[in-house]
Structure 1
Amino acid sequence: MTLDDLKEIIEKNFEKRTREFKRVFHGRGNFYEDFSYLTVDCIDEILFVCFYEKKELQEQIEKLLEELALTYAFKTFVVQERYLEKAPCKVIFGALKKEEIVVENGLKYSINFDNRNIGIFPDMKRGREYIKEISKDKTVLNLFSYTCAFSVVALSGGAKKVVNVDMAKNALSIGRENHHLNSLDTKKVKFMPYNILKSWSRIKKEAPYDIIIIDPPSFQKGSFAATKDYEKIIKRLDELASKQCLILSCLNAPELDADFIKELFKQNASSFKFIKRLDNLDEFVSKDENRALKNMIFERKLSD
């Protein structure tokens, strides 16, 4: 695959560009093996490029994308070097506000380019759409809530109550702001700044939950490793869930396939049955879909 091929793919994806967040090149799924270290996003009038490895072609790619950004009238062009320790962003042209706003399905989210992760994960869009569809009059538990995007969609879908749990207080503060951005009533929301694996008694006080979202990092040093810690969460589901509970179980670890999650439920939460796996967005192409993002739906049906 050449730079001309890269340009052609991105320009084709520009055709459907709107104000909403859109990935226009996804190399991380190894579908485009020559550019597996690269992602390119449209965020309204910002073109946002991430390099996950240092490559000889970086300077040429930056030049190509800068030309495209100017041609397609982006106001700001930003490059993030994720392979460096603090993953700094450099503004090639234009300017960034301390807080920018990204739009997804008409809902607003605060993002900040000073952070390694800017504040929302675009590949989870289908998961957020699903939660919004099923949330009316439901009590929702949002584990590893980060900046609470699932809470925003649940409340906008008519949820009765949402409990957000994440050990990062700053992320929860941004989550609170995301609710205010969308004029949502935070009296229906709880923000718990706790280590989930050590806080089950606090989480259980708000049970039972009709919907439980499990969206952990695949690995976070000192706090969570999917291979050993995901099981600990699933073992707690029976004591947290309502009789008709739905689970959105997420995993974005390419080394673990969908059967990993299914087997954990089978062994540790047998009252929940696998219903379906949500399709990933077309723009997040992957060489091996079973290794790509996994959004798995499980349902519990207990008689009274």
Structure 2
Amino acid sequence: MLRKITIALASVGLLAGLTACGSSDSGVSAKADDPAAALKVAVNPVPHGEILKYVKDELAAKAGLKLEIVEFSDYVQPNTALQEGQVQANYFQHVPFMEEFEKDKGVKLTFVAPVHIEPLGVYSKKVTDLRSVRGGGTVAVPNDPANLGRSLKLLADNGLLTLKPGAPQSATERDIATNPKGLKFKPLKPAQLPRSVADVDLAVINGNYALETDLSPAKDSLALEKAEGNPYANGIVTLPQNATDPRVKKLVELLRSAEVKKFIEQKYAGSVIPAA
């Protein structure tokens, strides 16, 4: 009887081991490189969701790629969904933002390729020229480190302040060398910035949120980032183990195609700029 119990327990242990191996192979990582499965991609609705929908409707089927678009309205959930395996890639962020997220959350992501640039812009309902900003005026800026530093650089490039030599991309108010007008800064969540324009002297707004609220970066901004040498191109991000997924590679190929470049140029008229 003891021998039978021992054999039975060993069999249970073997089955448990097989089940454990099976579960690790049948999870997200196993599906991640299955060319027959739909590739789930997390996006912000504008312009990322619009661009990806164009790819899905016009290009993906012919290329043998199934796409599922999952929309989020903020800058946190697309990376959380990627970490948790709800999606296999996302398309909403640039490298400096991704690196800040990695440092903050202790995770490792892979930036596969750049697709487009959304120039950061300065907007106002109180002045029509940056030189007219009053002394002590309030400037609303993004509250995430990567885009805050980007905002300060844009203001510095347009003569409103100077940054200390060697200021990092994630510069803060502590990195300001001179502030001749004594501007005050009001950090807000990026999605809140368009709603702040009427309440502040200037608002520095991310391109996607400007577009979502019918602001045209190319026409309505008082100052706009230059595309040349811009390190803030948005692109496809995935987990390191999914970087060689053939579906991810195919998606990058389509997003960087001549067809998508033409779509971006025609639809956004300079408010969104192809990265390549």
TM-score (norm 2): 0.30
TM-score normalized with structure 1 length: 0.28
Higher helix share: 2
Structure with bigger RCO (C-alpha 8 Å, 6+ apart): 2
